[in-house]
Amino acid sequence: MPNRIQLLTEKVSNQIAAGEVIQRPASAVKELLENAIDAGATKINLIVKDAGRTLIQVIDNGCGMNGADAQLCFARHSTSKLSKFEDLALLQTKGFRGEALASIASIAQIELKTRTSEEEVGTLIELEGGVILSESVCSCAIGTSISVKNLFFNVPARRRFLKTDNSELKQIIDEFERLAIPHASIGFSLIHNDQVIYQLEPSNLKGRLLKIFGSNYDERLVPVQEHTDLVSLYGYIGKPAFTKKTRGEQFFFVNNRFIRSPYLNNAINLAFRELIPKENHPSYFIFFELDPAKIDINIHPTKTEVKFDDEQAIYAYLLSAVKMSLGKYNLTPLLDFSQDPVLAHVPVGPSNKIPSAPQVLVNTNFNPFEKQPGSYKREKEHIEEWGNLLNHIQAYQIPQPSPAIQPELVFNEDQQSSGQKVFQLHGQYILAQVKSGLLLIDQKGAYERILYEKFLSQAGEQNFGTQKILFPVELRLGAQDNLIAQGNLDLFQSFGVDILDKGNGLFSIEGMPSDCLDSGEKEIVESLLESIKQTETLDLNGRRTKLALALCQKGKIKYGTILNESEMRGLINQLFRCKQPSFSPDNRQIVVVLDLNQIATIISTIKK
């Protein structure tokens, strides 16, 4: 009987290892950039073609390699970072396993040029499928240039597994940002298909963040800092007003290494819990510096997960630091009883004087049943009780308006002088008399419903109603949002949002839907971009529905908008021409009809 167990060949072993380490072009980008950083480079250029399928090239001005090291670096488990097991506890470098270059070389065609400062000429090595084809001397700058061509050329199944160019490029940008942010002192560039995506000069942390995510982040970031014997913690959090429905801008770094930690993410969510909607996510860029011996970074192949010796303490420090920053910058109410402004100014009497008891004056002739002067004001106070009416409505099961009563809610021109009045309450609700009782309408929700159905029905039409902006508004976007905007200009245009791409992440907002003017052009475009991020898996109709929802919420009529009687009547008419007049696009009930019996019950409750 033949043996069943046999040793794999070196070629097959490397290809299997490549599947674990190099899952897509972004994985190769990460490994090559980390090597350049570990080589002490102060300038690193990343050149990519076809989202990494055709070419990934990293050029650095680091220490370089001599001929022997250049040849040995492609062998499995070859590394300059470790010599004994105990070194794992003291690691400060990015890579250390020595698998990356061997894995990449086994599934691609490689060209390596490298030179040290001690050598006059460099070394050129060419490989294909892990096999060295040639080795020679060459003329090159100090440092290393490595080109990875035709990734997965000999593993077609893995190549077919790759997604669209936009999707793969997004992954590459993610890895690029995760290394460019914590190494702000290094100059980075990223070029894709001859287009410059990033050109980052050496900077401080905030300067690097603004260059990556856009200059508008200058007003959005709040510093965080905490130093203890266990950990030094610093970085920035985004203000609550600028939270998003996607998790994109959330970064933790441990000793300048990007990590993921749902546990620590929960600490930040807890700090923001009372300040933002449940479905929103705060932005943060938080750095932890601690003794390498107190963490284990070798628990996951991608090294994006770490194990802390005292995770609970770090959680507590992070929660405290974020809360402190939110309070310090007046982003959340902060109670400090030791500095209470009222108590601090309470006068204190002389210590040698005994305080006298306060005297209470009582009118012994008061008769509660006798009509008092000023009682005529009571009639006016009855009117004020109606302001509390809406606070009591939720205590009752109010039936939804049925189709049978909707026709009586529509006001036409013949009814304008019929004495049927409409009122506005606190700039939020519209009240109108109907046959059965009282009609209440949430004015902002009603306008959103009207716009939502209008946008969906007119999307793509040439007469959508775009109104040109007299002075176009410029908007600079980060690389991720830049790619999304470039790929969806036609979709924006189909909703009346006219945006001009001026290159290098700069856009000019030329026109907006007439229903959304004066609502903040930049805010509208950023809201649409966030909606598109949530619709990557949806078809065109699904994406249009999401965009219509985001756009209708930016309409001109908001809470507090004062409407005249004609505008209120027009809003009511348009609302009840909608397919779903009773609910807002995000499914909030916006129409309530109270019959006379319900009104009588509510009023009696108020009197009690």
* Pairwise CA distance, residues 124 & 328, whole Å: 56
β-pairing, 43-49 with 187-192?
parallel
Q: How far is CA 164 from CA 25, 217, 545, in A?
A: 12, 30, 23
Q: Phi first, then psi: what are they for 535, rounded to 5°?
A: -120, 20
User: 464 or 507: whose pLDDT is higher?
Assistant: 507
Closest CA to 517 of 449, 560, 468, 446: 468
Q: What's the confidence (pLDDT) of residue 553?
A: 85
Confidence band for 388, pLDDT divided at 50, 70 and 90: low
pLDDT digits (tens, 9 = 90+) for 99-115: 788 889 999 999 999 99
Q: What is the pLDDT of residues 512-532, one digit of tens each?
A: 888 886 668 888 888 888 888
**Residues in CB range of 345: below 8 A, 6 or more apart:** none
The percent of residues in the chain predicted with pLDDT above 70, rounded, is: 75
Q: What pLDDT does residue 555 have?
A: 83
Indicate the pLDDT class of residue 478, thresholds 50, 70 and 90. confident
Residue 95 confidence class, pLDDT cut points 50, 70, 90:
low
537-545 average pLDDT score: 79
What's the mean per-residue pLDDT of the chain?
80
Flag whether pLDDT at 392 surpasses 60. no
Residue 307 confidence class, pLDDT cut points 50, 70, 90: confident
- What pLDDT, on a 0 to 100 scale, did the predictor assign at position 349? 46
Q: How many CB atoms lie within 10 A of CB 87?
A: 12
Looking at residue 597, its pLDDT comes to 86
Look at residue 557 in the predicted model and tell me its pLDDT.
Answer: 83
In the predicted model, what is the mean pLDDT of residues 394-423? 48
pLDDT reported for residue 216: 83
Confidence of residue 26 (pLDDT cuts 50, 70, 90): very high
The pLDDT, as a whole number, for residue 171 is 93
Q: Tell me how far apart the alpha carbons of residues 312 and 264 are, in angstroms, rounded to a whole number.
A: 9
Cα 213 from Cα 477, distance rounded (Å): 6
Per-residue confidence (pLDDT) for residue 85, from 0 to 100:
43
Supply the pLDDT for residue 298.
59
Identify the pLDDT of residue 189: 97
- Residues whose CB falls within 8 Å of the CB of residue 157, separated by 6 or more in sequence, listed in order: none
Domain 206-328 has CATH 1.10.760.10: no
Of the pLDDT bands very low, low, confident and very high (cuts 50, 70, 90), residue 598 is: confident
The pLDDT of residue 17: 52
DSSP string, 183-239: TTTSEEEEEETTEEEEEE-S--HHHHHHHHH-GGGGGTEEEEEEE-SS-EEEEEEE-
Residue 426 scores a pLDDT above 50:
yes
Q: Rounded distance, CA 237 to CA 220, Å?
A: 8
- Nearest Cα to 63, choosing from 82, 37, 81, 83? 37
pLDDT at 341: 38
In the CATH scheme, what architecture does the domain 10-202 have?
2-Layer Sandwich (3.30)
Q: How confident is the model at residue 247 (pLDDT cuts 50, 70, 90)?
A: confident
CA atoms of 191 and 200, how far apart (whole Å): 12
Q: Which of 292-301, 334-343, 410-419, 564-573 has the highest mean pLDDT?
A: 564-573
CA distance 580 to 412: 20
What pLDDT is attached to residue 267? 95
Q: Is the pLDDT score of 96 beyond 50? A: no
- Predicted pLDDT at 105: 92
Query: What is the separation of C-alpha 580 from the centre of its chain, rounded to a whole number of angstroms?
Result: 31
How do residues 430-452 score in pLDDT, each as one tens digit? 999 888 888 999 999 999 999 99
Output the pLDDT for position 256: 93
pLDDT of residue 483: 86
Query: What pLDDT sits at residue 415?
Result: 39
Q: What is the pLDDT of residues 562-593, one digit of tens each?
A: 899 999 999 999 999 999 999 999 889 999 98
State yes or no: pLDDT of 300 exceeds 60.
no
Per-residue buried b or exposed e for 33-44, using 16+ beta carbons within 10 Å of the residue's own CB: bbbbbbbebebb
Q: What dotted CATH number matches 381-445+561-607?
A: 3.30.1540.20
Instruction: Name which of 448, 444, 443 is nearest 552 in CA terms.
Output: 448
CA pseudo-torsion sign 192, 198, 201, 205? negative
Residue among 587, 583, 516, 507 at smallest CA distance from 551: 516
State residue 116's pLDDT score.
94
How do the domains of the chain map onto residue ranges? 10-202, 206-328, 381-445+561-607
Q: Which residue has the higher pLDDT, 542 or 76?
A: 542
With a cut of 50, say whether residue 55 has pLDDT above it.
yes
